[in-house]
A and B are shown apart, each in its own frame.
Chain A
Amino acid sequence: AQSVTQPDIHITVSEGASLELRCNYSYGATPYLFWYVQSPGQGLQLLLKYFSGDTLVQGIKGFEAEFKRSQSSFNLRKPSVHWSDAAEYFCAVGDTGGFKTIFGAGTRLFVKA
């Protein structure tokens, strides 16, 4: 069965520092991978997605993610974090049937001044 693991429940980084959020997936075929962000009290917003092609994917708000098939990973990165990036981040994998997206448990990002 497909699954998504986000090993870090929460991460704290200083404003201006770089960020990497980890995501590992389990899926038999080529995965459809997503990163969503949830600001406090809000719904989720798509940051980026990977279906095929270039393994480095650019998203909104300066985020990028790299798909590594050999490591079953899809880590999210940002070179310089802003205080407004404080939120919860969810990695997700979509099945080939197209409708059952599996979300990870999420990583909450805290940004300190």
Chain B
Amino acid sequence: NAGVTQTPKFQVLKTGQSMTLQCAQDMNHNSMYWYRQDPGMGLRLIYYSASEGTTDKGEVPNGYNVSRLNKREFSLRLESAAPSQTSVYFCASSDRSGLETQYFGPGTRLLVL
């Protein structure tokens, strides 16, 4: 089992460009999450999907959109990237809720110039 996979691993964008971060899990988990990690701030929840077909805002959703494509896949889209979105993005999944163990992907490092 690969666990949680993320693509790409690293991306450079110019201000105003758009891109989609992909995440997939092979553990048959119901819930999936997108976090961003910034120095000195820990991880902050952007969006989550409690189950297939549902998505909800987290702590820092502005500037992002998500799609729960199916049970396995949960994508994060930046429509018009800004330098403030330079960060490391982590996708995670859990069986039913965030109170259970969350399994994290290796992260996507995004630089917006």
Chain A residues with CB under 8 Å of chain B are 4, 9, 32, 41-46, 49, 51, 90, 94, 98-106
Beta-carbon contact of B40 and A94 below 8 Å: no
Chain B residue nearest to A96 in the complex (CB): B99
Give the interface segment out of B11-19, B44-52, B70-78. Answer: B44-52
Contact A100 B99, CB 8 Å, known A44-B90, A105-B42: no
Q: Is the CB of A105 within 8 A of B106?
A: no
Query: Do B98 and A99 touch (CB < 8 A)?
Result: yes
A98 to B48, CA, bound (A): 11
In contact, A46 and B99 (Cβ under 8 angstroms): no
- Chain A residues within 8 Å of B4, by CB: 43
**Chain B residues with CB under 8 A of A90:** 42-43
Instruction: Tell me whether A100 and B42 are in contact (CB under 8 A).
Output: no
Query: Which chain B residue lies CB-closest to A90?
Result: B42
In the bound complex, residues from chain A placing their C-beta under 8 Å from that of B41 are: 105
Least CB distance, A98 to chain B, in whole angstroms: 4
Residues of B within 8 A of A102 (CB): 59
A6 to chain B, nearest CB (A): 8
11 A–B pairs (Cβ distance < 8 Å), ordered by A: A4-B42, A41-B107, A42-B107, A43-B105, A44-B43, A44-B90, A44-B92, A46-B101, A99-B33, A99-B97, A100-B58
Q: Apart from A42-B107, A99-B48, what 20 extra A-B contacts exist at CB < 8 Å?
A: A9-B40, A32-B99, A43-B90, A43-B92, A43-B105, A43-B107, A44-B43, A44-B90, A44-B92, A44-B104, A90-B42, A90-B43, A98-B50, A98-B96, A99-B31, A100-B59, A103-B43, A103-B44, A105-B41, A106-B42
